[in-house]
DNA sequence: TATAAAACGACAACAATGTATAGTTTATTA
DNA sequence: TAATAAACTATACATTGTTGTCGTTTTATA
C-alpha cells in the first residue's frame, strides 16, 4: 500500500510536460496546436496527459505561469548611474525580445489572448490585467524615483507615460508579427521612442519653458 | 438556353453574402466563425455559398476588400488651416475608431492576420504590407508637406515618424482588445501621443537647437 | 416549355476532444 | 521480497464540429 511516486516526482513530470508543451506553442502558436501535438512532443500517452491537464487552455495557462516565472523582464532599477540611462537600456533591450519573437511565447500569447475561449469572461481572467499592471507599475516606479531625485521632470503623469511606453512596445510586437522585424524597423522605431520619451520625461534639459 | 440570372444579379447576391459574412465576423471574430455561421446569417445553402467562395479565408479576403473600399480612413490633407491641426484632428479621431472596436472588423482582422493559414506564406500575401504602407505613406506625405511649408521641422526622418505613429495606434488597438477601452485610457494615451508628436515634429517652437 | 444556371441539403471524410478500459510497469512498504 | 496501488501505455470509442463535394430540385429566361 504505497502511493507509487512522490509529490516531487509528479511536479517534475508536470514540469517536463509543460516544457514540451511550451516548445510546441512556440513552434506552432496557440490556435493551431492540439493536445495530440503535445503528446507527440512529450512522448506521453493520451490518458497520462489528460490526468495532468483538463484541456488545452489549461495547459497553456500553466505554460504561461512557468514562462513568467523564469522570464522576468520587468524593469528592475538599480542604485547605480542615472535612471535615464537605465531606462534607455531597458528600452533598447526590448529590441532583442521583439526580434527573438520566433523563439518566445509572444506569438502564442497574442493568439491565446485574442482567440481562446478562456479569456472570454475577461473579468474572470485577471492574468492579462495583472501582467499589464505589473509592467506599467514597474516603469512608473522608476519614473517616480527619477522625479524624486530631480532627474525627471515630466509634464504628464508618470502613470500615463508608463502606459504610453508599454502600449508602444505592444504595437511594435504586433507589427513585427505581421510584417516581420526587418520591415518593422524595430531598432529605428525604438530610437524614435527614446527621443520622444526624453522629451516627455526630461523637458528641463531642453528649455526651462 | 438561358443563363438563369444576369451578371448584375450575381454581383448583388455576392455583395449580400459579403455583408452577411461581415456581420458574423464582427460578432464572432475570425477564428470562431465557420462557413455554417455565414450560411445561417445569410440564409443561404451550403452549395450556394461554396459556389461563390472556395473557403472561409476567401470569404474573409472579400469582406476585407469590401470593407476597405467603403471605410477609407486614410489621412487626406486639405489646403485649409495649419497641417498640425489637421494631423491633431486625425489622431483624435482615432479614438472613435478604436472605441468602436466591437462594431468594426478590427478584431477579426487581428485574428486573421495572426492565425489564418492564409497569410502564412507572408510574402505572397501583400495585402497587409500594402495597407501598412498606404497608411504610413499618407502620414508621411503630410509630414513632408509640412516640412516644405516650413511648418514642421522634424529631427527624425518623416518616414520614421509616420511609422512610429501607426505603430503606436496599433498598440492602442491591441491593448483595447485585451483590456477594454476604459482600462486602456485611449483618450489619455492619445493625448500623450500628441504631446510627443509635437516634440518630434515641431521642435522649432521649443528652442532653436 | 426546354434548358442551363443557381440553389438546396444530404453526405462522406476528417480532425479533434474527452472518456474509458485492459493490461503493464514501478516505487514503496509490510 | 512479495503485495499493492498508483502511474502509465495503448488503443478504442462516442461525440462534436467542420469541411468540401455531389446528385437533385428549382427557377428564370430564351
Domains by residue range for chain A, with CATH: 7-68 (1.10.357.10), 72-205 (1.10.357.10)
Per DSSP, A103 falls in state G
Structure confidence at residue A1 (pLDDT): 43
Confidence of residue B207 (pLDDT cuts 50, 70, 90): very low
Chain A residues with CB under 8 Å of B178 CB are: 113-114, 128, 132
Mean pLDDT value across residues B181-201: 96
Coil, helix or strand for A105? coil
Output the CA torsion sign for A113, A114, A119, A125: positive
Structure confidence at residue A206 (pLDDT): 40
Q: Which residue has the cell 532583442?
A: A96
pLDDT(B204) > 60: no
Mean pLDDT value across residues B182-189: 96
Coil, helix or strand for A6? coil
- Where residue B185 falls (left for φ over 0; alpha for ψ -120 to 50; beta otherwise) is left
pLDDT(B1) > 60: no
The nearest alpha carbon in chain A to B113 belongs to A178
In this predicted model, what pLDDT tens digit does every residue of B41-79 receive, in sequence order? 999 999 999 999 999 999 999 999 999 876 656 777 777
Between the two ends of chain B, the Cα-to-Cα distance in Å is 80
For residues B206 and B199, the answer to whether their CB atoms sit within 8 Å is yes
Structure confidence at residue A79 (pLDDT): 77
Distance CA B5, CA B7 (A): 7
Rounded to the nearest integer, the mean pLDDT of chain B is 88
More confident residue, B119 or A134: A134
Structure confidence at residue B124 (pLDDT): 56
Provide the positions of strand D that have an atom within 7 A of a protein CB. 3-12, 17-23, 27-30
Closest by Cα among A54, A84, A69, A77 to A19: A69
Residues of A32-69 as b/e, b for ≥16 C-beta within 10 angstroms?
ebeeebbbebbebeeeebeebbeebeebbbbbbebbbe
Distance CA A148, CA A133 (A): 22
Chain A residues with CB under 8 Å of B171 CB are: 167-172, 174
For residues B62 and B103, the answer to whether their CB atoms sit within 8 Å is no
CA distances from B113 to B57, B64, B204 (A): 11, 12, 40
Name residues of chain A where pLDDT drops below 70: 1-5, 71-73, 118-124, 203-209
Most B CBs within 10 Å, among A169, A171, A194, to test the B interface: A171
Structure confidence at residue A68 (pLDDT): 85
Structure confidence at residue B208 (pLDDT): 39
Structure confidence at residue A208 (pLDDT): 38
Between the two ends of chain A, the Cα-to-Cα distance in Å is 80
Distance B8 CA to C18 C1' (A): 49
How many Å separate Cα A97 from the centre of its chain?
9
Mean pLDDT value across residues B148-161: 95
Structure confidence at residue B6 (pLDDT): 73
Structure confidence at residue A45 (pLDDT): 97
Q: In chain B, which ranges are continuous DSSP H helix?
A: 7-28, 35-42, 46-52, 56-70, 83-99, 106-115, 127-148, 158-179, 181-184, 186-201
For residues A107 and A29, the answer to whether their CB atoms sit within 8 Å is yes
pLDDT(B2) > 90: no
For residues B199 and A199, the answer to whether their CB atoms sit within 8 Å is yes
Cell numbers given for B20:
452577411
Q: Which of residues 14-73 of A touch strand C (CB under 7 A)?
A: 34-36, 46-47, 50, 54-56
Amino acid at each position: 500500500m504505497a502511493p507509487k511516486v512522490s509529490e516531487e516526482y509528479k511536479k517534475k513530470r508536470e514540469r517536463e510536460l509543460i516544457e514540451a508543451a511550451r516548445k510546441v506553442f512556440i513552434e506552432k502558436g496557440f490556435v493551431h496546436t492540439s493536445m495530440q501535438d503535445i503528446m507527440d512532443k512529450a512522448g506521453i500517452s493520451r490518458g497520462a496527459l489528460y490526468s495532468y491537464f483538463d484541456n488545452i487552455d489549461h495547459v497553456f495557462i500553466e505554460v504561461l505561469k512557468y514562462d513568467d516565472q523564469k522570464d522576468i523582464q520587468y524593469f528592475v532599477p538599480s542604485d547605480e548611474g542615472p535612471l535615464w540611462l537605465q531606462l534607455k537600456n531597458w528600452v533598447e533591450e526590448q529590441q532583442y525580445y521583439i526580434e527573438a519573437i520566433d523563439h518566445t511565447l509572444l506569438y502564442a500569447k497574442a493568439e491565446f489572448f485574442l482567440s481562446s475561449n478562456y479569456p472570454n469572461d475577461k473579468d474572470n481572467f485577471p492574468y492579462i490585467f495583472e501582467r499589464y499592471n505589473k509592467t506599467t507599475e514597474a516603469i512608473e516606479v522608476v519614473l517616480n524615483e527619477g522625479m524624486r531625485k530631480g532627474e525627471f521632470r515630466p509634464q504628464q503623469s508618470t502613470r500615463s507615460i508608463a502606459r504610453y511606453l508599454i502600449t508602444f512596445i505592444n504595437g511594435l510586437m504586433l507589427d513585427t508579427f505581421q510584417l516581420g522585424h526587418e520591415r518593422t524597423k524595430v531598432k529605428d522605431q525604438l530610437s524614435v521612442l527614446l527621443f520622444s520619451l526624453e522629451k516627455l520625461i526630461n523637458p528641463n534639459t531642453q528649455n526651462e519653458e
